[in-house]
Each structure stands twice: as structure tokens, then as C-alpha cells.
Chain A
Amino acid sequence: MELFLMAAGTIAMGVLGCVVWFWGSNLVLDSIYPPRGRNAGDNIRRANMIRPWLFVGPAVLFLGVYLVYPVIDSFWRSLHNADGSRFVGAGNYLWALGDDKFRESIWNNLLWLLVVPALSTVFGLLAAQLTDRIRWGNIGKSLIFMPMAISFVGAGVIWKLIYEFRESGETQIGLLNWIVTRLGGEPQIWLTLIPWNNFFLMIVLVWIQTGFAMVILSAALRGIPEETIEAAILDGASPWQLFFKIKVPQIMGSIAVVWTTITIVVLKVFDIVFVMTNGQWGTQVLANLMYDWMFRGSPDYGRGSAIAIVLMIVVTPIMVWNIYNARKEAG
């Protein structure tokens, strides 16, 4: 109850604070530069120069303090030793290059980057194409899209149940091992099965992200002008040709969007590895490795920050590409 009061209080305070700031500051501005009287013209001009900053001020402050400053601070920390007391230059980065776990993480991250966006896009495209053509397609779409709403941790539990292992001869309660034993195979502890366990983790993210890919690509497919499709059919294109030669090239832009967005998700992937294997058995990834260095045992902020900065550097090309596209679109 107390908790609820606090939460309600915070909402009230937050909303009130916003209202007071935006309304009050505008009021103050209008009273300093009243839009009437002898200097009305000048006043309006001056007020209009200041007002945008009242509007964007809080957002800029938040973004600056909570996102821009930490990047700079992390970079600074990455040049220092564990507790930040001594400058070590590129030492942490050199350490990373020689560290087995770091190299394993980079390698695994690359694997994730290849597999997850590719599979999600392919399945998403397949789902979009299939469900767009049938009457119960919308229900189907909803169900494929549903994992989007499930947390990575929840998905971790869901898939661990599927990968559950019982000794050979016992009743298998994990779906995968049940199928395998039914087909005459031996049950496996999938999550410790190097190197395939990486793929069993990736499947979880593919399962979650396919819905996203499907939604974007389905909209793109519908956006293809009817005439081009009709023309292709009249010219005798087979369904396969129609799909791969006419439709796919026209939605390349959307495929790129899906691919880059999922790439970002993949680079940040943390929860799935964290709760399912915690990076053991050769499944470490950068984000989880960083968490290990920052919060486990005796923290090493220098090394942790260096890994974070590596993550940041990998993301940067996509950031630039996004900005470029957004600006191009704005004209």
C-alpha cells in the first residue's frame, strides 16, 4: 500500500513537475517579453528564439545526463585501472585482445549477428507472405507476434522447459528430448552441448524477433503497387518468380530496416544468455561479459567499461546509417 502511494505520488509529482515547468516557463517568458505594447514585434521575436529551448530543455537534459555523459565517462574509465585510480591508456583494450573469454564473446557475438537477423528476417518474410493470403491470417499474425510481449527472462524459462533433460530411459518432459528419443536418438543436455548450445540460445531470440520482422515486412509487401504484380502475372511469372524477382527487390529497404534493428537487439543481448547459461559452456557474449566484470566478484570498472566501449563502437556504423537514412527521408 505504501508502495502504491509512493508510485502514485511519483506520477503526480512527475506530471505536476512537467506541467509546472512547461506552463510556468512559458508564462515567465511571456511576462518578460510581453507580445504586446510598443516593443511587441521585438519581444515576440526574442521569445520565439527562447521558447523552443523551454520545450526541448528537459528532454535534452535527460538525454545528455543519462546517455551522452555516460558514454564519455565510460570511455574515460576504460582508460583507467579497476577502481579508476591509475591511468593505463590502452591497457584494458590490449588485455581484452589477449583474453580468451573476450575473444570467445566476440566470436559468439559475430555468430549471433549472422544467424539471428538472417533467420528472423527469413521467417518474418515467410510468415508475412503466408498470413497475408489467408482469411485467418490476422489471428496467425497475432500469435507469431505474441513472443514480442514476453520478457527475455520469461522466454528463457519457456525455452528451458523445452530443452529440459532427463536421463536416458526416464520419461522426457522436455519437448525437444522427447522428440529426439521418439525418433530413436539419445537425450542431450542441449544447453551444455558445445558449440551447438549457442544456436539453442539464438533460437530464443529468433522466436521473439520474427514477429517484429513479420509486421514490418507485411506492411512493406502490402505497399507494393498492384500494377507491378499484375504486370508480372500477365507476363507469366510463376509464384516463385513473383516473390523473389518482383516482391523481394521492392521491399529491400524494409528488409534493411528489419536487419539493422535486429542487429542492434542482438548486440545488446544480455538477458537470454544471463539466465539460461550465464555465459558458461562457451556461450559468453559481450554484454554478459561486461556485466561479469562490472558487477560480479570484485568489480573491474576499467575492463568492464572497455568492453562497453567496444560494444558502442560496434553499434556506431548502424547509428550513422540510421541518421543518414532519417535525414534523407526528411529531405
Chain B
Amino acid sequence: MEGMAGKKSSLTWAVHISAFLLVVLWTIPTLGLFVSSFRDRDQISSSGWWASFSASEQTGYARTGTDDDARQVDGLYVIEGSVTEGDQKLSAWGTGAREPGKYQPGETVEIEDGWQLTVSEDGSYRLTSEKPFGMRRGERIFTTTAVPPDFTIGNYHRVLTAEGLGRAFMNTLTVTIPATVIPILIAAFAAYALAWMRFPGRALLTAGVVGLLVVPLQVSLIPLLQMHNAIGIGKGYMGIWLAHTAFGLPLAVYLLRNYMIGLPREVIESARVDGASDFQIFRRIVLPLSFPALASFAIFQFLWVWNDLLVATVFLGNTREQLVMTGVLRELMGSKGGEWEILATSAFISIAVPLIVFFSMQRYLVRGLLAGSVKGG
């Protein structure tokens, strides 16, 4: 009995640890981006983001004063000063570029004939000599200082203004909101008809909607673009709204129909008996009851439109003023491939809104996923 219990608890531990590892593995990529967006260019290129939480070592050098700064104390020529700024702490120092960390703070070293140099932890140095120094330039002192973790929001400021991401943010919003709202209305009516009205062709239409769920968008790009050009919409917001509305409809109709068909039959039948028209039943009973499904679809469509690159690239223009955020991001990846402070920050801004929507509305998203995937046999 005891053995069983022991086995069970070790299994529980294994579950906890494996789950934790899995979660960490899935979170780290995004975390890396997030942390990097708060580091400046030098920090990003000098160390990995995972090292940003601990103090990093920075080497540099400063020069001592020259003869002009020398004082005579007890028959010695003395130059004093500091090689650090502020209250930085020195961890090592040296006099040659080859070994910049050769000496400990506080050590006294003879660097040249009769010259004694001491550098202490707070960065103050004392150079002494029995004869005048006779040097025009100060002696170099290499320093190794510990730099505490440092984060900046400067990247965000730069990206939103100079890199044009602020504008792109507005463009994305402009594309997304109408493209989320309009399909809901159109789909809700269609879904009601497919769920609760009897008419020839209903089964065929429903099957058609299921079939259209998987049509690759790529197929429709060229024909639609040419059609838009032919009827004078061209490239622009109108075109992309229409396209996103249409591309979202199969899922919308399918989700809403599946939900509506599950509503209690008695409620709808009794309303019919009371003389309510289909329009009234839809507006007063079915629509309010379908709120969870409407919310599910709205989130899907919002995320999909917000994150889309292909449709936006094709149906919107590609000048800087017209780009949506995914478009800007793509362009930055091409033109500023190495400038991670710009890339990481832009990417994080573009995924921030979806993440907020995701975390605040996750419940509806899950519900929608469960209803939206065609259930297997």
C-alpha cells in the first residue's frame, strides 16, 4: 500500500515537472521578444536577452591627468582623480588593452620606472612618481565595471513615431473593426435561416458553407483583385473590408448555425404559435440568446483580420502610409534584419492587442473552437 502511494506521488511530481517544462518551452520565445523590446541596441548586441536580468560587465578606459594636474606631496609628484562616473563599482582594472582586468581594486602597481598606480573600488586612482612625470597625454586605465540591469522604453517611442508604426496601428484598426462587425450581421441572418426556416436547398447551402470553410484564400486573390479594379473599387479599404467580410462568412455562418440549432425548440415554436414572424423571432429571441456564439466569432475574426498579412498585401496598397502592422513588420524584417531593438519592439506592439483580446476573452475563444471544428465521427 505504501509503495503504491509513493509511486503515485512520484508520478504527480513527474506530471508537474513535465507540465512546467512544456509551459516554459512555449512561453520563452514570446518572453524573449518582450524582454528584448526594452533593451537598447548596445545591450541587445552585447548579450542575450536572458542575461539582461543580471548585472553585466562593461569594460572601458579612461585617462589619468597629465603634468598639469600633478601636485607635490611630501616630495612625491601625485596625480589623483577618478576613472568612473557616478557611483559605479570597479571590479577589475588594468593598464594594457591586452589585459584590461589584470589587477584587483586597491592593488598598487608599478607601471613604469618609479611610477606607482593605485586604483580603488570606487574608481579613484592615485599615480605617484618621485620625478616629474613629463607626459603630454594621460596614462590609460582600463576599467571593468558592473552595469546593473537596465531597461528602456526608448524603443517604443522611436518605433511609434519615426518608424511609422503608429500610423500602421491606425490602419490595422481601420481594417479590422468594420471587417469584424459587418460579417456578424450578415451571417446571423443566414445562420438563422439555415437553422430554423424550412426551404428547398437548405441542406445544400449548409453543405456548401462547410465546404467553403477550407477553400484556400490564395485561389481567390487574382480574380477578386481584377474584379475590384473592373468595378472601380481598386486597392483600398473598401476592397479589403469586402474581402475580409466574405472570407469570414463561412466560419461565421457555420458557427452561428451550429449554435442556433441547439437553442430550445419549444421557445421558438411557442413564439411562432403566438403569431411572431420569423423576423421578430430572430430579433427578439434568437439573436440575444446567441450572444456567446456571436462573441466567439467576433474574436476569431478580429484575431484573423488583425494578424493577416496576405489579404492586406494584396488588397491594400503597399506605400508606407497604407501598410498595416504585419506589412510594416515584414518590411522591417527585410530592411532592418539586424536591428533587433526595432524589430522586437514593432513585433511586440503588433501582437499586444491580440494578446489582450486573447487573455480577456479566452473563454469565448475556446467555446468557439470547440463548436467550430467539424466534429468527427
Contacts and interface: CB of A to CB of B under 8 A. Distances in A.
A66 B242 contact: yes
A151 B333 CA distance: 14
Given A7-B173, A26-B277, A207-B29, A55 B190 contact: yes
A52 B202 contact: yes
Interface stretch (B137-145, B149-157, B191-199): B191-199
B79 interface: no
B181 A14 contact: yes
B23 A144 contact: yes
Interface stretch (A91-99, A111-119, A194-202, A268-276): A268-276
A318 interface: yes
Given A59-B189, A178-B48, A270-B218, A212 B369 contact: yes
Contacts of A6: 174, 237
Given A71-B215, A178-B50, 10 more contacts: A11-B178, A26-B277, A55-B197, A70-B219, A152-B309, A161-B29, A175-B48, A274-B309, A308-B219, A312-B219
Interface in A96-153: 123, 126-127, 130-131, 133-134, 137, 140, 142-153
Contacts of B90: none
The 3 closest A-B pairs by CB, nearest first: A66-B246, A151-B307, A70-B220
A38 interface: no
Given A10-B237, A134-B16, A152-B309, A15 B185 contact: yes
Nearest to B191: A59
Interface in B163-197: 170-171, 173-174, 177-178, 181-182, 185-187, 189-190, 192-194, 197
A18 interface: yes
Contacts of A161: 29, 32-33, 36, 49, 340, 343-344
A1 B182 CA distance: 21
Interface of B: 11, 15-16, 18-20, 22-23, 26-30, 32-33, 36, 44-50, 170-171, 173-174, 177-178, 181-182, 185-187, 189-190, 192-194, 197-199, 202-203, 205-224, 227, 237-238, 241-243, 245-247, 249-250, 253, 277-279, 282, 303, 306-310, 313-314, 326, 329-330, 333, 340, 343-344, 346-347, 350-351, 354-355, 357-359, 362, 365-366, 369-370, 373-377
Contacts of A55: 189-190, 192-193, 197, 278, 282
Contact of B330 (A7, A275, A320): A275
Contacts of A18: 182, 185-186, 189
Given A18-B182, A150-B30, A7 B174 contact: yes
A326 B374 contact: yes
The size bracket of the interface on A is 35 or more
A160 B50 CA distance: 16
B366 A215 contact: yes
Contacts of A270: 218, 309-310
B19 A311 contact: no
B375 A150 contact: no
Output the residue of A14, A52, A123, A126 with the most chain B CB within 10 A: A52
Contacts of A193: none
A157 B33 contact: yes
B215 A67 contact: yes
A1 to B, nearest CB: 9
A151 B350 contact: yes
30 contacts: A6-B174, A7-B178, A14-B241, A51-B197, A55-B197, A58-B189, A62-B245, A66-B242, A67-B246, A70-B224, A130-B19, A130-B22, A142-B359, A143-B23, A153-B347, A154-B307, A154-B350, A160-B333, A161-B33, A161-B340, A173-B47, A175-B50, A212-B369, A215-B370, A268-B217, A275-B329, A294-B222, A308-B222, A318-B214, A322-B210
A143 B19 CA distance: 11
Contacts of A275: 309, 329-330, 333
Interface string A50-79: 011101101110110111111101100100
A154 B351 contact: yes
Given A10-B237, A210-B26, A312-B216, A148 B193 contact: no
A267 B218 CA distance: 11
Given A10-B237, A66-B246, A301-B222, A140 B19 contact: yes
Interface string A1-42: 001101100110011001100110010001000010000000
Nearest to B215: A67
